[in-house]
């Protein structure tokens, strides 16, 4: 191909269009991105393993490089970034080995890094534009977080004070301190995986506990558990929640080895907190092989009045998005540029833009991307 390029260039400028065409045909196929999505140029070759937008040109992000040759266990090197007016700037890590797996914030000088550290400890750290401050609640493992403002931050996960009783946990930052609330049945392992904040007196969290789906609602004064359908009756996990016009949408994965061959299926519940309807995202061209057909909902968001779902799907299916058309789910390729891209997070911003963050196959390497979808005219 290099020799062909040289020969054609020497033949004259009139052959340049032909050269471009041949180069495009010879290049690896990149036609996997969903229509209308615009990729965010990453600050480093590994791409973006996490991306949390603040507005159209600012965000906090992470790039990741695997440093181990095997995964026993996998070892990674993380770099944090802030995007300001479209330009990338590196952000120092809070300290060696501290958690960066969950990011949130409202501006480049209001960033939170939370989760589990490299040595298994848990922490929550805040960046004010010049330095990190340790705001750790001991034994609180954060799995998801949402910053509404500098004085209104929600984090969810587990409280691991003892080896036996592991309740779900929700913590709220009011600008000066965290208030932590334990959720779930005593003695049952409850995990909270997602939070959606409608207002100060309307907050939803979802996850799983005791082998079933778990959801709870905050009305501004207290938390109340919300009963959800059992679905398969064996194993179901809620990974995402959003609210559209007062209707709650909950998504995750459902598995029943007795009725569907054990294939994990992507489900979405929609309801008013009392009555629920269950729908499943269809697997394109199913093979009947549980390892090939597995799919789960990892994120939910509202864009242009429509509910979108971010999906994990096997790479052969090349599906990372689903859109509710009013009666059923329509699947579409993820905004990534390689086959098998998945969508791990969806973020709508105030200007009506929908942002997607995801990983490329193989996901173990944590090489990711970010993309934006503008609102329709």
The two most distant CA atoms of the chain are separated, in Å, by 79
Instruction: Mean pLDDT check: name the lowest of 12-21, 42-51, 255-264.
Output: 12-21
Segment 292-311, tens digit of pLDDT: 888 999 999 999 999 999 99
- Helical (H) or strand (E) element with 67: none
Cβ atoms of 74 and 364 within 8 Å: the answer is yes
- What pLDDT score does 261 carry? 63
Whether a cis peptide bond, with omega within 30° of 0, leads into 73 is: yes
Cα–Cα distance, 205 to 223 (Å, whole number): 10
- Of the segments 203-207, 264-268, 309-313, which one has the largest average pLDDT value? 203-207
Q: 139 phi and psi, to 5 degrees?
A: 70, 10
CB contact set of 307 (below 8 Å; sequence gap of 6+):
242, 244, 249, 268, 300, 301, 323, 324
Q: What is the DSSP letter of 337?
A: S
pTM above 0.75, yes or no: yes
Q: 271 phi and psi, to 5 degrees?
A: -175, -175
* Helix, strand or coil, per DSSP, at residue 41: coil
- Mean pLDDT value across residues 188-209: 96
Hey, what are 182's tokens? 């334990």
Q: What is the DSSP string of 210-269?
A: TTEEEEEEE-SS-EEE-----TTSSEEEEEEEEEETTEEEEEEEEE-TTTSTT--EEEEE
Cα–Cα distance, 35 to 17 (Å, whole number): 25
Segment 99-144, tens digit of pLDDT: 899 999 999 999 999 998 878 889 999 999 999 999 999 999 999 9
- What pLDDT score does 178 carry? 98
CB contact set of 21 (below 8 Å; sequence gap of 6+):
none
- What pLDDT score does 22 carry? 33
- Helical (H) or strand (E) element with 180: strand 178-183
Cβ atoms of 355 and 349 within 8 Å: the answer is yes
């Amino acid at each position: 191909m290099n020799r062909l390029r040289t020969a054609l260039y020497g033949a004259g400028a009139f052959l340049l269009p032909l050269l471009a065409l041949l180069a495009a045909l010879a290049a690896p196929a990149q036609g996997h991105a969903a229509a209308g999505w615009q990729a965010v140029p990453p600050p480093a070759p590994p791409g973006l393993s996490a991306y949390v937008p603040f507005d159209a040109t600012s965000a906090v992000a992470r790039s990741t490089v695997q440093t181990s040759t095997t995964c026993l266990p996998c070892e990674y090197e993380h770099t944090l970034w802030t995007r300001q007016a479209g330009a990338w700037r590196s952000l120092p890590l809070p300290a060696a080995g501290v958690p960066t797996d969950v990011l949130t914030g409202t501006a480049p000088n209001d960033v939170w890094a939370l989760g589990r550290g490299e040595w298994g400890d848990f922490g929550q750290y805040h960046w004010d534009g010049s330095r990190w401050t340790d705001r750790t609640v001991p034994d609180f493992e954060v799995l998801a977080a949402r910053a509404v403002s500098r004085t209104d931050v929600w984090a969810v996960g587990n409280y691991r004070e003892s080896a036996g009783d592991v309740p779900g946990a929700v913590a709220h930052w009011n600008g000066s301190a965290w208030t932590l609330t334990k959720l779930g049945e005593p003695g049952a392992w409850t995990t909270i995986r997602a939070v959606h904040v409608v207002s100060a007196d309307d907050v939803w969290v979802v996850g799983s506990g005791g082998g079933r789906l778990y959801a709870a609602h905050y009305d501004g004064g207290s938390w109340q558990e919300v009963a959800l359908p059992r679905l398969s009756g064996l194993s179901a996990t809620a990974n995402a929640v959003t609210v559209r016009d007062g209707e709650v949408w909950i998504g995750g994965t459902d598995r029943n080895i007795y009725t569907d061959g054990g294939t994990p299926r992507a489900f979405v519940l929609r309801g008013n907190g009392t009555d629920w309807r269950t729908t499943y995202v269809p697997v394109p061209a199913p093979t009947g092989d549980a390892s090939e057909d597995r799919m789960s909902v990892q994120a939910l968001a509202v864009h242009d009045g429509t509910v979108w779902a971010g999906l994990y799907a096997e790479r052969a299916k090349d599906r990372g998005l689903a859109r509710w058309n009013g009666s059923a789910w329509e699947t579409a390729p993820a905004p990534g540029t390689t086959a098998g891209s998945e969508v791990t997070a969806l973020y709508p911003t105030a200007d009506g833009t929908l942002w997607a963050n995801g990983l490329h196959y193989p996901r173990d390497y944590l090489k990711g991307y970010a993309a934006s979808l503008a609102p329709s005219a």
